[in-house]
Amino acid sequence: MSYEMNFGKAYNEQLPTLGDAMSEVIRFFGGQHIYGVGGDFAANLIAALDGNADKKINIHPSSNEMHAGFSACAQAEVDGMGFCLTTYMVGSLPCTSAAALAVTEGLPVVFISGAPAESEVNQLAIHHTIHPNASWKAEYDNALEAFSALGMRVERLQGQRVDGHPNIAGQRFYQIVSEAYKNKQPVFIEVPRDQVFAKTQPIKLPSSLDNICCGSNILAGTELIVDNILHKLEHSQAPMLYIGDRLKHNEKLKTLVLAFAEKFNIPYATTWFAKGLFDEYASLCLGAYNGVFTQTAGRAYIEKSVDYVIDVATSIFPQDCNIAFATGTHKIEGFENKTLLKGGSLLEKDLVAIFERLLEKNDKHFAFDKLTNKSKGQQSTTLADGYDEIDFNNLAQTLNDLQSQDDKTYVYLPEVGNSYFASYSLKVRQSTLGRSWLTNPWYGAMGTALPYARVVAQRIKQQAQLAGEIKERAVVIIGDGGFHFQLNELIHFLKDETDVTIIYMRNNIFHLGKSGDGAIYHCNDKAFDVHHIVKAYQGQSKTCCSVSEFKSYFKQCNVQSGISLIEVPAKAIEERQSNELQLLNLYIKSQNGQPDAIKAWQALAQ
434-492: per-residue pLDDT in tens?
999 998 876 667 889 999 999 999 999 998 888 888 899 999 999 988 899 899 999 99
Containing H/E element for 60? Answer: strand 58-61
Model pLDDT, residue 11: 67
What is the rounded end-to-end Cα distance, in angstroms, of the chain? 80
Model pLDDT, residue 124: 72
Distance of CA 149 to the CA centre of its chain: 22
Containing H/E element for 535? Answer: helix 530-536
Would you tell me which CATH number, out of the four given (3.40.50.10310, 3.40.50.1220, 3.10.180.10, 3.40.50.300), belongs to the domain 222-373? 3.40.50.1220
Domain pair 222-373 / 392-572, same fold:
yes
Q: Which fold has domain 392-572?
A: Rossmann fold (3.40.50)
Q: Provide the 8-state DSSP code for 101.
A: H
Model pLDDT, residue 448: 92
Low-confidence ranges of the chain (pLDDT < 50): 1, 371-381
- The full DSSP string for 121-174 is -SSSPPTT----TT-SS----HHHHHHHHTT-EEEE----SSTTS---HHHHHH
Residue pair 242/322 in contact (Cβ under 8 Å)? The answer is no
Residue ranges in 236-318 assigned as alpha helix (H): 251-264, 298-304
- Neighbour tally for 597: CB within 10 Å: 17
Q: Provide the 8-state DSSP code for 376.
A: -
Tell me the pLDDT tens digit for each residue of 214-259. Answer: 556 656 778 888 999 999 999 999 999 999 988 888 899 999 999 9
pTM of the entire predicted model: 0.90
CATH superfamily of 3-210: Thiamin diphosphate (ThDP)-binding fold, Pyr/PP domains (3.40.50.970)
Domain ranges of the chain: 3-210, 222-373, 392-572, 582-606
Phi, psi of 100 (to 5 degrees): -65, -40
